[in-house]
Structure 1
């Protein structure tokens, strides 16, 4: 029996890609497929090559799996973005409520400050008048 040169396959390296059980099953069935070997008679020139139909079928399966993974990534991304939007809306609502409360308290404090200033002014005027009265009493 003659041995042929090994077949070299270059698989793309994908980062952040999650493979499902079916992905590994497809890969293992691909690797377990019996490939034609070169005949010892020399009349056939079969090489370790898949037929055109087989390559098209495998490419179609690979494209479907790639599309499925892409849809899954897109779905997960959309869910994450939606959750983030919901969190940010809740945070925005909370901040608006806190701003309203702080503004309300600030206005109340400003009103109280204005009232106390007026009261202080009135009391100072009253004190000036009392002082003037005491001075006039002492002179007489």
Structure 2
């Protein structure tokens, strides 16, 4: 069984897996609910968004020694893993939209997005932005 915290992050509702939280702070003020919503309606929307099969199927190569980590991070989004070849596994990851592929950046050089072209292009854009932001100025 997996437990979640439902909370806002930058004005948007999100699910936080309790097993991934390092710490928390208890606040003195009571929880505020969105107008027209209760915990059940927010939960239902979040579950639909995160656990419903995605509309974007990403094919990628992932280093074999990162499969365990990928399973923990990607969860049910990691739909297919082919047997390793030369230290790499072909994987299929589903997302609700292209923008969600940003999650794959945490795998750094241990992953290569192959298809679709829009996902590969978005990863390249995000990586280029990271390089630009982290290049030392002289």
Report the TM-score, using the length of structure 1 for normalisation: 0.20
Q: Name the larger-Rg structure.
A: 1
- Larger RCO: 1 or 2 (CA < 8 Å, sep 6+): 2
Larger strand proportion of the pair: 2
